[in-house]
Structure 1
Amino acid sequence: MPATPPPIGSYVTSWRPAPVTEEDPLNPGPVGAVSALLDLSDPVAGAGNPLPPLWQWFYFLHWPAQHELGADGHLRDARFLPPIPDRQRMFAGGRCEISEPLRLGEPTERVSSLSAVTPKQGRTGELLFITERQEFRQSGRLCLVEEQDIVYRSGRGPAGAHPTALDDQATATAEDPWRLSLQPDPTLLFRFSALTANAHRIHYDAPYCRDTEGYPGLVVHGPLLALLMLELVRRNAPERRVRTLSYRLRRPVFAGERILADGAAADGRAELRIATHREARHATAEVTFACRQD
């Protein structure tokens, strides 16, 4: 009888990587590229303008050497990748607190650190939740604090449902006034991967998705779903400044499916979600706005 593998948590008992400090000039180029990806007629911001919430994801990019990538397209070894065997990675959600918006074209410092390491038991087996914290500063001022939750599991298997998914179902409400529709195809997923330096094969290699990861087709990026929800705010409440936001990715969306982002705002906050014909809540988000006088 084969030996039982040790629990995932045992691999990270003494794993405490040190923080990393990086700098980026926040040039306008990526903003123009993302605006084109979203079929906007003009870039959403120019030098000196506020960067939309979550658009910091298009900066501080890393392009490792090809030989440093693993079979799934991710780095085999990096500072905040947990040292567990045969890692399968899923983006679960995150949070942002924005004291003041980052300004495009201003030199920016980012300090990344490991905030939490939490082993859990999920429906697909043992999981490891990693929370990475990022602090962004301009001219010495702390402007934005972001936390991202990444889920890892050891081994391969069917992954058609997100291991953190809830079983609750919501029904669409006709009174939701904010709506945005998108039907991402492989070309859009390819371009988004390029803009975020993301070589994960689940977004462009259909045979790998089906045969290795257990998905029925190409997976739409979790960050793209979060950005679409925040795009509702940017388009429908451009005068309101986002103070905090949180989002959770519940179930995957696949290329070719029509996505509906919808939501509404009231009492200084907004509730947002992503739906398809299969599910009412693939992803959800909550935004709070700064006071008018801030």
Structure 2
Amino acid sequence: MTDVLADLCEYVGKSVVTSDVVTAAGVAQLAATFGIDPPASRVGDPLPPGWHGPFFVPTHGPQNMREDGQPAGGFMPKIPLPIQRLRGENTQFEGVLRIGDEMTRKSEIAAIDIDDLAEGGPVVSLMFRQTLSGPAGIAVIEERRFMYFGTDYRLDTSSPELPALHDWERIVDPDPVTLFRFSAIRFNSHRIHYDRRYAMDVEGHPGLIVQGTMINFLMVEMARTGAVGKQLRALDFRIHTPISDTAPFTVRGAMTDAGATLWALDGDGVLSMTAFARYAG
């Protein structure tokens, strides 16, 4: 196992460039998932920060897929550990994309760290960077942090101190239709979001798991629409514990001197996710 994990470092720096087009249909589908009006619908309309999610969907075939439905092989390394988790993401909104724009995306494995002495078995941390560019140049930079580990490993669930009061709040019912539609828009085949038997019997969750990217999107929308007159430039989120579909969850946010702090609570009030937003100026 140690030799196999060590070989993973050879993937660092590998990259691939793909292309796509910003479509009104993708924006409309994402808006419909949450019952809101599309913020852009005609050619030339600018996409608000965070609305690039429906584009550049993965296209890995069954031969390049882990048991859990996630990609492996080809560009992505085959990591021989059964559980993969998105632990966080830093997104920077550098420019504007518009309906009708032709885009390119450079996807790069930025870093791989291996801890083969961790209590509970080896752990692999992977940083995945994606840079989206349009006619005006770089528009979005995403840095996603993934962890791979075995069934005996326990994640660090420590969390920062939160504001005593909140300025914004949204209660979300994670029904199966919403989870399915969000996964379908992004062509996300991770089984914990739609295969209840797999999520519960294989990975031991109490139900289906709400997509971290969904909660991230809701936080971006809250930070974008709640801070009237401010331009959102970046949002960095961290997942502490997953949220299941067994009860409604809550997303809250508060303005701070440095920007905004946002957080998500599961149905029992347990802190699941935190984020920090930065604005222009």
Tell whether 2:121 aligns with 1:131: no
Residues 54, 164 of structure 1: CA spacing in aligned structure 2 closer, same or farther, 3 A cutoff?
Answer: farther
Q: 2:105 aligns with which of 86, 110, 113?
A: 110
Q: 1:35 aligns with which of 23, 31, 35?
A: 31
* Separation in 2, partners of 1:287, 1:126: 33
What is the match of residue 278 of structure 1?
Answer: 268
TM-score, normalised to structure 2's length? 0.89
Q: 2:246 aligns with which of 252, 256, 271?
A: 256
Q: 126-135 or 271-280, which moves further after superposition? A: 271-280
Amino acid in the other structure paired with 2:17: T
* Separation in 1, partners of 2:4, 2:203: 19
TM-score, normalised to structure 1's length? 0.86
Verify the 8 A CA contact 2:224 2:232 in the aligned structure 1: no
Aligned residues: 279
* Separation in 1, partners of 2:8, 2:139: 31
What is the match of residue 198 of structure 2?
Answer: 208
Classify the secondary structure of the residue corresponding to 1:214. Answer: coil
What is the match of residue 168 of structure 2?
Answer: 178
1:238-266 alpha-carbon deviations (Å, 9 max, x no partner): 53211122110110000132111111113
How far 1:182 moved relative to its partner?
Answer: 0.3
Verify the 8 A CA contact 2:95 2:136 in the aligned structure 1: no
Residues 43, 124 of structure 1: CA spacing in aligned structure 2 closer, same or farther, 3 A cutoff?
Answer: farther
How far 1:13 moved relative to its partner?
Answer: 3.6
How far 1:7 moved relative to its partner?
Answer: 6.7
Tell whether 2:86 aligns with 1:96: no
* Separation in 1, partners of 2:167, 2:47: 25
Classify the secondary structure of the residue corresponding to 1:55. Answer: coil
Q: 2:56 aligns with which of 45, 55, 60?
A: 60
Verify the 8 A CA contact 1:158 1:214 in the aligned structure 2: no
* Separation in 1, partners of 2:229, 2:74: 40
1:176-231 alpha-carbon deviations (Å, 9 max, x no partner): 11111101011111111101111111111111112211212111111011111112
List runs of 5+ in structure 2 lacking aligned partners: none
How far 1:124 moved relative to its partner?
Answer: 4.3
List runs of 5+ in structure 1 lacking aligned partners: none
1:82-123 alpha-carbon deviations (Å, 9 max, x no partner): 333244211011112222232232111111111111123656
Tell whether 2:178 aligns with 1:188: yes
Q: Percentage identity across aligned positions?
A: 27
What is the match of residue 157 of structure 2?
Answer: 165
How far 1:276 moved relative to its partner?
Answer: 2.3
Tell whether 2:16 aligns with 1:20: yes
Q: CA RMSD in A?
A: 2.3
How far 1:145 moved relative to its partner?
Answer: 1.6
How far 1:143 moved relative to its partner?
Answer: 2.2
* Separation in 2, partners of 1:68, 1:126: 23
Q: 1:242 aligns with which of 221, 232, 240?
A: 232
* Separation in 2, partners of 1:147, 1:99: 14
Verify the 8 A CA contact 1:94 1:146 in the aligned structure 2: yes
